[in-house]
Structure 1
Amino acid sequence: MIRKDQALGHSLLVLLFVLVLLPLLFVLAQIVSPGLTWEAFDLGNLSAIFGIFEKKAWMSALTNSIQLGSGTTIFALALSIFLAHIRVSYQFPLAKAIDVTAWILLIVPSFILAQGWIYFGSGAGIAAVWLGISGLNTYLYSVNGLITIMVLCKFPLAYITVKGAMEWYPDSLVHAARMNGANPVQVWTKVRLPLCLPAFFSGAMLVFMDTIGDWGMSSAITAAFPFSTLPYAIYSAICTTPVRFDTAGVLSLYLIGLIFIAMIIQHFALGRRRFDFVGTGATAVVAQKIGKVQTALLTGFTLVFCTVTLGIPIGSNIIMSFTNSFSIQRFSFTLDNYIAVLSDQKSLLSGLQNSLSIAAGAAIFGLIAGFAVAYTLTYSRYKLKKAIDSITLIAMAVPGVILGIGYIFVWNQSWLTPLGLNLYGKSSILILASVAVAIPLTNRLMVAGMAKVPQDLLVAAQVQGLVLAHG
């Protein structure tokens, strides 16, 4: 068993190194060798790492990312815990709408959500022109407004993991606590809350990583007010003239530093305690029936919440798709946009086919890799499994533009052509990049569930299987 754990662990390390670390190392190498040429190689460029103490723009981007990531994480986690509690504990109409909303928000690209909020809340947007809500744009284009929108878009990352932990009730542990005089509050704080900590921290890490690495949402909304973040600063360094790959490498290093700080906090918070409880008499939580007043309140809250979080951004995009004007003041219903898209069926079908094939390939390989990583982190005795966990989180925090540049540098080498591994310009490179981005989320979702199941149950199942196999 130990040998199998070691073999699986080594294989995952190699896979993650190729998918995540190697492209990132190529980007970080830009610090000492911009453009990856020997002529530009200069170790003296390492001094640029400390340029954050001299360049106000870099320091501002770093502090803004920390502020945005911390604020979003705290409020998104609190919201997720509340939503998971009412979803699991009580029966009321539209309860499943919370799950549907969370999953849709999880798969919709952030720039589409940002675009919808801009259509709705801008000075001449839907809220001001059609609904008569004035002043929303002032709040929307502010730090607090950005954090609010981030919370409404990022909470599914924490909600799914938290809900998975709260769906189980440790009966025997709760009964033991009550027999020793614990009141309901003490049962929650001393028994249920500690057992949910892995899910809480996993959800918080996912929200923090995705927030500080998000470029689409923050850059779209902060275009109207000065609030530069690290992803936007990295994008600016790459897309401006002259291209500054060295600056992008330095700023990427800061992002990685934020990841490790967050991981250290999580490590010391959880320590070496065990959190598996399914084998200790735990049962699935059965939602309780509540009074008419409470049912009406929860139903009304759910309706408003889902309408705001999902209906506003998606609905605003749908509304604007039926007009040729970018201003809602000049709205004129038309189907020209849909006719233009559907008339070019060749491009539409080609794009749809490419998207589905890439998504299918990434889903299959990402699921397999994510499950293997989650299993290794939860049950194996592999000594370097913390390194595996660290690499997966790095993949989530690094902006896609940086990972994309790294993939170009890695897979566009001339010496790879005779080996058939020059993947630049092929769909396979997109599948690899998508798998690298998908592994962290798949891994954290599976770890949250696996953490509840003690290894003794797996051993018992394995023994039973061996007995059955041998007659």
Structure 2
Amino acid sequence: MKIRNKEFYNKIKSMLNNPSLLILIVLIFILLFIFIIFPLFKVFIVSFTNEDGKFSLEIYNSIFSNDYMKQGFKNSILIATLTAVIGTLIGFLYAYTVNRADIPLKKFFKTIAVIPMVFPPFIGAMAIIMLFGFNGIITAKIFGIRTFPVYGIWGLMIAQIVTFFPVAFITLDGVISTISPTLEDAAFNLKASRWQVFTKIILPLSVPGIASTMLILFIESLADFGNPLILAGSRFPVLSVQAYLQITGMFDLSSGAALAVWLLLPSLIAFILQKYWIGKKKYITITGKPTTSQLKSVNKFAKWFLFALCLIISLFILLIYVTIFWGAFTKIWGMNNEFTLENFKYVFDVGKEAIKDTLTIALTSTPISAVLGMIIAFLIVRKTFPGKKTLEFVSLLNFAVPGTVVGIGYILAFNSKPLLLTGTFAILVLNFIFRYIPVGIQTGVSLLNQIDPAIEEAAYTLGANDKVVFSKITLPLIVPAFFSALVYSFVRAMTAISAAIFLVSADWNLMTVQILSQTDSGRLSEACAFSVVLILIILSFMLLMKVLLKNKISIVNNDFASE
């Protein structure tokens, strides 16, 4: 106990000797409290408050006795679980094939796997309706089927898996690629069969990554709003949509808040498991370039079977997104598929304000989110101070909080003075900043852990302060993480819907809300045109960042080489 107290006092003393660092940490804590903790606190408080403003369990009693709401909770858990299990299985097989099978088209498969990340999260739902709906190209036009159950569990599950498949692939690709093939070589030399090598080496070493991926997909699917709003239908209620409808349709903030709390609890449990339990279970192996194992891991039949599986998955993903582009150039999807450019004229006429607003909000929030993420990552990795673990947990908390909960929290927290922000530009920007800093923090932490602290310690020895060390040494060294945070924050700000739909107003609208509105109105061709414009903007930004990143890295390398 005395040792712990001494360490605590040493941390306090160190901070007092560096007032600028102390002010920065206090300021970040205040910001995180106001824009992350306070909105969630308001959701909890309102969910336990009756019409007279007094504490009450009446709302929860009403919800728990409502069979439709209970079914919505069960459906949400069911879809999240199915997405986690099936998405992880497909992602693992895909990643294993790319890393351990000597197949052609590997670059093609890797490219296709990450395509859905560039698209708005509910684009897959739109394409599924266009392909398999009542007037779908595949169901109605090719097979003459008009009763395919596209609305409900099957359509929604397909959309969720397509949407979150890249998350599974990227995570598991990183896991499998770091397993040294020399372990498999040694097993083969000891006369082990391919199945034994897979079950005794590859699979056990992948278990932490598989478990982590399942929990991440569970959280992502449970928090998703766009796909369920389009595909769930009234016969298959899900909690995120019901919370939205309670607020926007019934104007019942208390019930919406209670449903948000109900949705938040399993997300938080999964987040804590993933971050603090599964995240600690890592098996380290000696890394190396794949040698004979890559050729020996699968036999000829398995190789072509896995190739066929990857090809089917890739072609289906490609079909989903080609359909969006095709639909953008048709007059009336499903009824009149003649080529036209009128949809784009409509977009730039009706939606020009939404395009301008979306770009303004994204370009404002993106650099702030990325810089703040790098600063917090620097504090977590390089500094010692009381409350560091709390800072890390709170700053990453929004990863686990469903967008619906965040949106409800913001309209409850910032709907009165002194923080009257509802309907303003500021509330959307602040939402995006604090919603997407977790990725910047995680990428920054990951890269900082690979940088030798001796470089920064040398600068301190020469008299540099924290500001100089961070701006002149640390930040240039973590340029890749910084630009990754920039790209991710921009893409998510451009494609966000779940929280933003609560925060848009007559003065500030978003393209994703326009796309959703067009889809709800049955104007699928116009929705596709909006989507294509949105995708082109995102791709242009990513290309620009790639050029800037290349130039920046070369400048940094030249600076260090000259020194």
- Tell me whether the two structures share a fold, i.e. TM-score over 0.5: yes
Question: 1:335 and 1:467 mapped to 2: Cα distance?
Answer: 64
User: Cα gap change, 1:181/1:323 in structure 2, threshold over 3 Å: closer, same or farther?
Assistant: closer
- 1:211 deviates by 0.8
TM-score by length of 1: 0.77
2:45 is aligned with 1:29: yes
Structure 2: distance between partners of 1:130 and 1:51:
46
Aligned partner of 1:80: which letter?
Answer: G
- 5+ residue gaps, structure 1: 417-421
Give how far 1:68 is off.
Answer: 0.8
Identify unmatched segments of 5+ residues in structure 2.
Answer: 1-9, 16-20, 465-562
- 2:560 aligns with none
2:373 and 2:441 in contact (8 A); partners too: yes
**Bigger Cα displacement from structure 2, 396-405 vs 7-16:** 7-16
- Map of 1:234 onto structure 2: 243
Aligned to 1:252: 260
Aligned pair 1:41/2:53, yes or no? yes
1:153 aligns with 2:163: yes
Question: Alpha-carbon deviation of 1:465?
Answer: 7.7
The answer (yes or no) to whether the contact 1:170–1:192 under 8 Å persists in 2 is no
Rounded Cα–Cα distance in structure 2 between residues aligned with 1:446 and 1:341: 38
2:136 to 114, 125, 148: 125
Contact 1:73 1:207 in 2 (8 A): yes
Identity of aligned pairs, percent?
24
Contact preservation (8 Å) 1:369, 1:439:
yes
Q: Structure 2 vs 1, CA of residues 23 and 310 (structure 1 numbering), >3 Å: closer, same or farther? A: farther
Residues of 2 paired with 1:247 and 1:209: CA distance? 22
Q: 5 Å matches for 1:436-451? A: 436-443=434-441
The answer as to 2:287 corresponding to 1:282 is yes
**1:18-47 C-alpha deviation (Å, 9 max, x unpaired):** 33222222233322447xxxx83111x234
Q: 2:330 aligns with which of 314, 323, 328?
A: 323
Of 96-105 and 171-180, deviating more is: 171-180
Between 1 and 2, higher relative CO (CA 8 Å, sep ≥ 6) is seen in 1
Tell me the amino acid that sits aligned with residue 283 of structure 1.
G
Aligned residue for 1:79?
Answer: 90
Aligned equivalent of 1:57:
68
* Contact map agreement 1:259 1:394 (CA 8 A) in 2: no
Deviation at 1:429, TM superposition (A): 2.6
Q: Write out per-residue CA displacement over residues 381-419 of structure 1, whole angstroms, 9 at most, x where no aligned residue.
A: 777566556546652454434423432443453335xxx
Whether the 8 Å CA contact 1:215–1:232 is kept in 2: the answer is: yes
Match of 1:100 among 111, 114, 122: 111
Aligned partner of 2:344 in structure 1 is: 338
The 8 Å contact of residues 19 and 436 in structure 1, kept in 2 or not, is answered as yes
Shift of 1:360: 3.2
Please state whether the residue corresponding to 1:324 is helix, strand or coil. Answer: strand
Query: Residue in 2 aligned with 1:366?
Result: 369
Counterparts of 2:415 and 2:163, CA distance in 1: 35
Q: Is the CA contact (8 Å cut-off) linking 2:331 and 2:338 kept in structure 1? A: yes
Q: Secondary structure at the match of 1:109?
A: coil
Q: 1:355 aligns with which of 353, 358, 361?
A: 358
Name the CA distance, whole Å, in 1 between partners of 2:360 and 2:157: 35
- Deviation at residue 466 of structure 1 after TM alignment: 7.7
| Contact 1:158/1:202 (8 A) holds in 2 | no
State how far apart, in whole Å, the 1-side matches of 2:454 and 2:189 are.
30
CA distance in structure 2 between the aligned counterparts of 1:193 and 1:379, rounded to whole angstroms: 35
* Contact 1:171/1:281 (8 A) holds in 2: no
Match of residue 143 from structure 1: 153
CA distance in 1 between counterparts of 2:218 and 2:324 reads 27
**CA distance 1:366–1:401, change in 2 (3 Å):** same
Q: Aligned in 2, Cα 1:296/1:360: closer, same or farther, shift over 3 Å?
A: farther
Give distance in 2, aligned partners of 1:379 and 1:176.
39
- For residues 33 and 441 of structure 1, the distance between their equivalents in structure 2, rounded to whole angstroms, comes to 34
Once the two structures are superposed, what CA deviation does each residue of 1:291-324 show, in whole Å capped at 9, x if it has no partner?
9987766555444322212322x23333332333
Matched residues in 2 for 1:251 and 1:69: separation? 17
Does residue 67 of the first structure (1) align with residue 78 of the second (2)? yes
Does the 8 Å CA contact 2:92/2:169 hold for their aligned counterparts? yes
Give the CA deviation at 1:56. 1.2
Q: Which moved more, 1:80-89 or 1:185-194?
A: 185-194
- The more displaced of 101-110 and 227-236 is 101-110
Q: Structure 1 residues 247, 189: closer, same or farther in 2, change over 3 A?
A: same
1:197–1:270 Cα contact (<8 Å) kept:
no
Q: Distance in 1 between matches of 2:188 and 2:379?
A: 36
Q: Amino acid of the residue matched to residue 309 of structure 1?
A: I
Q: TM-score, normalised by structure 2?
A: 0.66
Structure 1 residues 340 and 441: CA distance shift in structure 2, 3 A: same
What amino acid is aligned across from residue 339 of structure 1 in structure 2? K
One-letter amino acid of the structure 1 residue matched with residue 428 of structure 2 = L
Match of 2:35 in 1: 19
Deviates more, 1:433-442 or 1:191-200: 191-200
Gap change, CA 1:281 and 1:397, over 3 Å in 2? closer
Counterpart secondary structure, 2:332: coil
Is the alpha carbon distance of 1:91 and 1:373 closer, same or farther for their aligned partners in structure 2, counting shifts above 3 Å? farther
1-structure distance, mates of 2:205, 2:365: 33
Cα offset for 1:210?
Answer: 1.5
Deviation at 1:378, TM superposition (A): 7.4
Match in the other structure for 2:525: none
Q: Which residue of 1 aligns with 2:176?
A: 166
- Which residue number in structure 2 is paired with residue 217 of structure 1? 227
Shift of the alpha carbon at 1:227? 1.0
SS of the residue aligned with 1:331? strand
1:304-323 to 2 correspondences below 5 Å: 304-312=312-320, 314-323=321-330
**Cα offset for 1:155?**
1.5
C-alpha distance in structure 2 between counterparts of 1:218 and 1:79, whole Å: 21
Letter of the 2:317 partner, please give it. Answer: T
Matched residue SS, 2:143: coil
Corresponding residue for residue 427 of structure 2: 429
TM-aligned CA distance change 1:253 to 1:178, over 3 Å = same
Q: Is the 8 A contact 1:123 1:137 kept in 2?
A: yes
Which one-letter code corresponds to 2:328 in the other structure? S
Q: 1:92 to 1:144 in 2, by over 3 A?
A: same
Aligned residues: 446
1:124 counterpart SS class:
coil
1:284 and 1:119, CA in 2 relative to 1: closer, same or farther beyond 3 A? same
* C-alpha displacement of 1:125: 1.1
Q: How far, CA to CA, are the matches of 1:384 and 1:186 in structure 2? A: 47
Deviations 1:118-168 (A, max 9, x none): 111112211123322637722x33424422331122111222122123222
Question: Residue type matched to 1:103 in 2?
Answer: V
Aligned pair in 2 of structure 1 residues 196, 390: CA closer, same or farther (>3 Å)?
Answer: farther
Q: Name the CA distance, whole Å, in 1 between partners of 2:140 and 2:27.
A: 57
Determine the C-alpha separation between the residues in 2 that align with 1:181 and 1:14.
61
User: Corresponding residue for 1:419?
Assistant: none
Deviation of 1:283 after TM superposition, in Å, equals 2.7
Q: Is the CA contact 1:213–1:399 (under 8 Å) kept in the aligned structure 2? A: yes
2: CA distance, partners of 1:301 / 1:182: 26
